[in-house]
Chain A
Amino acid sequence: MKNYWNKIKKIFVFLFLFISPLFVHNSYSDDIKNGEHVIQELIAKTQKHALETIHLSSEERSKKITPIIQQYLNLNFMAKATTGSFWNKATNDEKIKYELALLDQIINTVEEHLNTLATLSYKPIKSEFRGKKLLYITGVIEDKSKIKPPINLLWKLSKGKDEAIKILDLEIEGISLIRSHKSETMSILRKNKGDFNDLIGKLKIKK
């Protein structure tokens, strides 16, 4: 009887060891597919928007593209990542205002490049999981006329609390948007001793 139970235990252990990785692997590959889909969809929507709104003013274009971009970004993470230890000292109102100012900055940059984006094609290259939560997707943007050199992109994504995969950072030719923005905001926050209102004001003036 004891032998019989031992055999059953061994079978269960065997099944657990061999079958459970298959489930883990499937969930990973699903997340990778979803992540790749997020990027493809974002680029397709942005390009469509660029072509459809070519006759509009830059203000109107920015207004229209804001919900498209906002949908794919983990803005709360980006705000935290770009303000370092100062984030915890900010009030809720300052946090919300800063997130909006950050979004404005991103939209402003995207809007400036909209016409160029419309003439480029995106090709995904590699996707990989990093650690427990991060997903890296590398791709390249190519000029269809081959006049401009290709641009390498690295998207960093993660699943949010709502299970939706969102963008945390984008590296263009190795230059991280989060790192660049962080060095700027940290320099301002250090000088003004953590005054978020001053930072938000400075971000808005330059618009």
Chain B
Amino acid sequence: MKISYLLSYKTIVLVLFLILSGCSNKNITISEIKDPLENINRKIFHFNRSVDEKVISPISASYKKITPPLTRKAISNHIDWLDTPSTILNSSLQVDFKNSILASAKFLLNGLTLGFYDLDNGETVIKDRDFGSTLAKLNVPEGPFLMVPFIGPRTTRDFTGTILDTNITSNISSQDLNNLKLIEIPIDTIDTRARLSKTIDNIYESADPYIKLRSFYIQNRRNVVYDEKYSDLKNKKADEEFEKLLE
């Protein structure tokens, strides 16, 4: 009884701390990517690539071939729907209550079809939020780049976010939803691979696939985490560089 009381007390304190920390985004990173573990990361990248080329890619190619686009779209919708509780929680922690309310409404509405069909017809735009982005809003530094076996590219901050996401979201979601999410990990992997097939092929064809993947991941992740503020800073920096080159 006492332990559960303490746990709930700690959770409340943590949530309040996260909210009151103010989500100020002071440490927006536009600098070069830190990759002190490049040699190890490259080895893990080669391992992940061989797993992808031997197992995931052939399955996802067959999945793409035999599944009609509308069915694939329904499966993607369903997988996105399963991730919505994390967006709801993290939007609240980031004091983005509008996004949290919209995500909750959409989660409940699309819950009528288990998320397979978007009853809102894509009208409501919801920003995906996870613990990685919450940590970024709390000014936790991005940290070095990591290549995680089977998972793929992450920054240290985002990898911590992924672990927190798995643990905390599973505590607040219903057991049925957690079981469903666990069963659907392979489907999620195949569906994501099918969605990104052209981008991944483009990465593999490049002169240095590891560097290209790292660049794509970091640019995309910073855009997702920091929104417009990052775009503004990044564009200002690019403008200066471009104007110098045009002189």
Binding site for B on A (CB under 8 A): 77, 80-81, 108-109, 112-113, 116, 130-134, 136, 145-147, 149, 156, 158, 168-169, 173-176, 179-180, 183-185, 187-188, 199, 202-203, 205-207
Contact = CB atoms under 8 A, between A and B. Distances in A.
Contact of B246 (A116, A158, A207): A158
A183 B122 contact: no
Contact of A183 (B215, B223, B242): B215
Interface residues of B, number: 29
B246 A176 contact: no
Interface in B130-169: none
B207 A176 contact: no
B192 interface: no
A164 to B, nearest CB: 14
Given A145-B69, A158-B242, A174-B223, 15 more contacts: A81-B242, A112-B202, A116-B198, A130-B235, A133-B242, A133-B243, A147-B73, A174-B220, A175-B220, A176-B219, A183-B212, A183-B215, A184-B207, A184-B211, A202-B208
Contacts of A134: 239, 242-243
Contact of A130 (B70, B212, B223, B239): B239
Interface in B172-211: 198, 201-202, 205-208, 211
Nearest to A101: B207
B242 A188 contact: no
Contacts of A207: 205
19 contacts: A80-B245, A112-B202, A130-B235, A133-B243, A134-B242, A134-B243, A145-B69, A147-B73, A169-B238, A174-B231, A175-B223, A179-B238, A180-B212, A183-B215, A184-B207, A187-B208, A188-B207, A188-B208, A205-B207
B219 A179 contact: yes
B174 to A, nearest CB: 28
A202 B243 contact: no
A184 B206 contact: yes
A19 to B, nearest CB: 28
